[in-house]
Structure 1
Amino acid sequence: MAKVMKIAIVDDEQDMRQSIGQWLALSGYDTETFASAEDALRAITPDYPGIVISDIRMPGMDGMSFLKRLMGADSTLPVIMITGHGDVPMAVEAMRVGAFDFLEKPFNPDAMSQLAKKAVNARRLTLDNRALRRELSDGGQLMKKLIGASPTMERLREDILDLGQADGHVLIEGETGTGKTLVAHALHAVGSRAGKKFVLISCAAFEEQALMQRVFGPVQPDDVQLPAVEEARGGTLVLEDVEALSDQAQAKLLNLINEQGNPPETRIVAICNLQEQDRTCEDALRPDLFYRLAALRITVPPLRQRGEDILMLFTQLSEQFAEEYGCDAPEVTAQEAAQLLQAPWPGNVRQLINVAERAVLQSRRGSGTIASLLMTDNEEMQPVMTTEGKPLKEYVEAFERMLIDNTMRRHKGSIASVMDELRLPRRTLNEKMAKYGLQRSDYLG
């Protein structure tokens, strides 16, 4: 759910700051008021979760000096300046310094609310992007996102840690929706380039000439962005849909790779999304480029090969969506668990995310089943099943692990409550938790 953003109101006139605060509070904002710029500066940090509305004429530190101090600490903080009649030139100067916008007295309260809404949305986007960049620079947090206890996921995490320390270029292959871009982020975050630039380009998102210019340049007079090869210099350049590169672009990329030293100044991570059974990334790229990119190689496993990871992911995702929508996560029956395990998941994790969200929404309405979400459009209400059968023992164990895991989560690690609900003796519960790698400490609190 979206965080409630604050609005700091700075004005030396008590009536003015109270009236602004009351109006914005009625509009649903969390406001705080300050009688001076000096007081406000003690409370407004670089990651302040909101915006600032400030008078431009104040005793002591005036609005312009206050604005400059705020911009020096966080140039992305939206600051709306309130000006008096005849102060427009000063307001224009404030915009040049970095103010988000200005309001001239007397102003329409509705206009102020609309401007505050616009500034708040901009601030929320900035803070969300900032948090994402921090998360994507934290290798430990990224590795936690690659959850799963299946052997294929354990190998994937080991490959990321191993290849992350290497300097060679990497080719990442796998089906749509398996998390290849997340793997690319993790490779960068766990390696020696973690603190350097990470630039991601989707080769399929551009027309050929636009892609050539975006990746290789040259920079046009009106461009405010460097070509990707310059922007990523010293760091990691990720090329999604690398199979979409034209012959000309492949030749330029090969030249770039050949011109670099060993180890390369910029690491290239290529992501291939080819799905055709009779065509591979090797078929789509010129041989010399393919072998340079595929010196190190990672294949991200499809969801259908990850066994009980499917139930683990579904449980985690449904709990996240339930919290977001303010309702309980749906209970999964043994039959539904088997259907989740048997589904072919052509859209992989991306599809599982959609199914989990829809399961929460329909559970909130008190209708629908998980099975109904796994139907194909071209089969009349027949559940989708894989062609590869699995031993009954695998389904039973996967469901048993999910059931114990869910019950432990619900009771926050209370062994007595779990024993009572599942009607299991202490020794049996302990043995099963040890068998499935479940630790009571993970559920406390």
Structure 2
Amino acid sequence: MRLPIRFAATAGVMTALLAACGGGSSQSDTNGSTGQVRLLNATDSPVDLYREEAKLGASVPSGSAGSYTALPATGHFLQTRRPAATGTLTGGGYLVDPGRRYTLVAYRTGNADGAAYIDESAEAPILAAAKLRVFNTSGETGPVDVYITPASQNMGMAPRVFTGISAPTFSAFTQLPAGNYRIRVTAADDPAGIRLDLPSVALSNAEVYTLVLTRTPGGVLTHGLLHRHQASLLALGNTSARVRVVASMTSQGTQVSARLGGTTHTLVSPQIGTYQQVPAGVSSIEVRMNGGPVVARTVNVVAGHDLTLVLMGSPNAPALSVIEDDNALPVSTTATKLRLVNGLNDLASPLTLIRDHTVIGSSDVPPGAASITSHLSAAAPSYEVWAQGSTQALLTGPLVLEGNRVYTLFVLGDRAGNFGGELIADR
């Protein structure tokens, strides 16, 4: 079996690389002098596909695949670009063999754009079976395991079909009987850390599939794209979000019960809850203080997002703030991410976090809000929290930060009573 050759353009030099995408003959092109190429957009916004300066695919939407274009059977320089942008996202040399179909997958992980070239001519599975592999493009999510069970079966003690798939890498193919399956993607070595739950995925007889995992705004969950080779693409978006509740009431010891999306969060103020997955959609959060009457608030929970809901004020009139969280892992394993959340009552002045005389994130964070996130080197420096206009720091102390982690420093409580800071490792 002859393996296809991929040519990668690096500093103007064309270097031949063996592409591990399988062999076999294509059934898609009877013309012996051409092959076919299309773009699969696994990024967050539309992408164009170019062969040198000729546009092959225009404004392919996020989570979609463009049409195939016939190209002469030879090497081609293919580029991905944003529509109406002057720069190039990726560029490289790729070989098109006669009678074969290829898909160029455009993706973005961390701060880098990437492209993967899939030869869709992998050998078909045996009769009454399908072949499946996973392509993880989300470095934000981290390495993942994949469990595949019959659609009606709980995960239970089911074995992992794919293990430790980091980004951006492909798993090997596995062969499965044709049918409907439940596919669960989890954090590596953490069956409870669900990143994507697909309750019913149909795998058809004699078909070959690649499940492409893409990043989400919250940085922890992932979306899916089921790429059927030489055929359709099915977007399998996450239908959940991750939400945690933080209680910071004026009365210390206030018992807080907050119910959202069928999940009840029980806390004693001041306290920081843990993330729970809830269904996406416009939901009502029902809050009860010290067993009193229910106070309802509306929250728009968007799929793939991480949210922190901060309850502040008096038990009789709680105020709710919704904060978007960026829990994507740092780009470097030696770096860390840090931000400030201001949950301090009875102080209208905004807060600023300073580490070694440098503002962390953004200054002047108002109550019920968060600073932007700073990327820092892992260390154990001192920190200070200042209120606008004050002559001395409200809080001081050391911060021990480890590499490849995401942190939030919460300032909670009531300035007139008890207040303090708590460092939480979000990841």
Give yes or no for TM over 0.5: no
Q: State TM-score, norm by structure 1.
A: 0.24
Q: TM-score, normalised by structure 2?
A: 0.25
- Pick the structure with greater CA Rg: 1
Q: Which has the higher strand share?
A: 2
